[in-house]
């Protein structure tokens, strides 16, 4: 899977989350790092992130590189636990609905500096 497609799914998920009544604010949006604040109707806030490990890329062939992609939810322990699980579950459901097959690797075209 292309990293750009994963980012498109992430952004579409955030838009759908807003339509469900969650308040979404994008805090960081740069190549390899994405962070959004998500609040539910009760005011519980979590931060949903995607982070690409650009420091440990391995060259596969030509311009193709391989790296670790991490995503998850940062929450305040205790009060945010249930909402964090709800956000991750919602993202996984969205993922299943919009990606027809299981994907275990990403293709990354790192921009030239």
What's the mean pLDDT in 50-74? 78
Residue 24 is predicted with a pLDDT of 97
Beta bridge partners of 48: 36, 73
What's the mean pLDDT in 22-36? 92
* Ranges of each domain in the chain: 3-98
Distance, CA of 110 to CA of 98 (rounded, Å): 25
- For residues 111 and 7, the answer to whether their CB atoms sit within 8 Å is no
Residue 109 is predicted with a pLDDT of 52
Report the chain's mean pLDDT, rounded to a whole number.
83
Q: Say which CATH architecture domain 3-98 belongs to.
A: 2-Layer Sandwich (3.30)
């Amino acid at each position: 899977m292309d990293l750009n497609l994963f980012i498109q799914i992430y952004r579409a998920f955030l838009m759908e989350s807003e339509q469900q009544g969650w308040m979404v604010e994008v805090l960081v949006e740069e190549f390899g790092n994405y962070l959004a604040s998500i609040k539910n109707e009760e005011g519980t806030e979590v931060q949903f992130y995607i982070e690409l490990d650009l420091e440990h890329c391995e060259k596969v062939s030509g311009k193709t590189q391989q790296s670790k992609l991490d995503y998850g939810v940062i929450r305040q322990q205790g009060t945010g636990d249930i909402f964090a699980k709800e956000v991750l579950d919602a993202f996984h459901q969205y993922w299943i609905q919009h990606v027809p097959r299981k994907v275990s690797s990403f293709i990354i075209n790192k921009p030239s500096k």
